[in-house]
Chains A and B, each alone.
Chain A
Amino acid sequence: DAGITQSPRHKVTETGTPVTLRCHQTENHRYMYWYRQDPGHGLRLIHYSYGVKDTDKGEVSDGYSVSRSKTEDFLLTLESATSSQTSVYFCATTRSVYSNQPQHFGDGTRLSIL
C-alpha cells in the first residue's frame, strides 16, 4: 500500500486543549487528505493538501487547521478541542488530484475528548 502512518493511534484529552495528529507517507504522493468518520455520517473531508504549504478547506473544516511543511507529513490541529470533535480521523493520499485516482488510507486515530 501507500505506506501511510498515523500517530497517535489513540488519544484521550480534555475539552479546550490543543491536539495535533500526524500523518506520514512514504510514497511521495502529492495530495493528502484528512477525514473524520462518525456513525451515520460516513467519511467527511476536513482539509486537504495539494503540495507543500498548499492546503484548502473541506466540508467540515471549522475548528481545525492543517500544515504541510514536507511532502511526507500532513498535520491536523484541533486548536481548542471540543466534545463534538470526538471521532475517528483518517488520513489519505492520492497520486493525483483527479477523481479517477484511488485513495489510500492510514489506519486511523481514535480521538476522545472529555
Chain B
Amino acid sequence: QQPVQSPQAVILREGEDAVINCSSSKALYSVHWYRQKHGEAPVFLMILLKGGEQKGHDKISASFNEKKQQSSLYLTASQLSYSGTYFCGTGGTRDDKIIFGKGTRLHILP
C-alpha cells in the first residue's frame, strides 16, 4: 500500500522549521526520502532502516519509528534551496520494491 504523507503542502519563511511525516499501514523495513525540484529528477536524501534510527546531514534529518510504522523528515532553519517536493518511499521487507508516497510540496519564502 502507498504510504501517506502529511502535510500535502506547506509554506514557510526562510529560517523556519518544517516536519514532513510518512505513515504506512503495514510494518516497515526501510524508509527512503527524496527531494524533487520542479522539472528535475528526484534526488536521494537518506534511507532509514528498521531499528528506529535517526539520520541527518546538514540541517535535514529524519527519524524512523518502527512501532508507529512512520518516519518524519525534519528541516531546520529552512533555506530557499529547500523548496521542492519531498517524497518518502517505503519497503515492508528487505526484498520489497519501494512504494512512493504522493509527495509533500514545500515552498520557502524569503
Contacts and interface: CB of A to CB of B under 8 A. Distances in A.
Given A100-B47, A105-B42, A42 B103 contact: yes
B41 A90 contact: yes
Nearest to B8: A40
A42 B98 contact: no
Interface residues of A, number: 23
Given A42-B87, A90-B42, A102 B47 contact: yes
Contacts of A102: 32, 44, 47
Interface residues of B, number: 26
A99 B93 contact: yes
Contact of B95 (A35, A45, A98, A108): A98
B40 interface: yes
Nearest to A45: B97
Contacts of B96: 99
Most chain B beta-carbon contacts within 10 A, residue among A103, A106, A107: A103
Contacts of A99: 29-30, 32, 91, 93-98
Interface in A83-99: 90, 97-99
In the complex, the 10 A-B pairs of residues with the closest C-beta atoms, listed nearest first: A99-B91, A105-B41, A42-B102, A102-B44, A43-B100, A99-B30, A42-B100, A99-B96, A98-B94, A105-B42
13 contacts: A42-B87, A42-B103, A43-B100, A45-B99, A99-B30, A99-B93, A99-B96, A99-B98, A100-B30, A101-B47, A103-B42, A105-B43, A107-B41
Given A43-B87, A99-B94, A107-B40, 8 more contacts: A42-B2, A45-B97, A59-B99, A99-B96, A100-B29, A101-B47, A104-B44, A108-B40
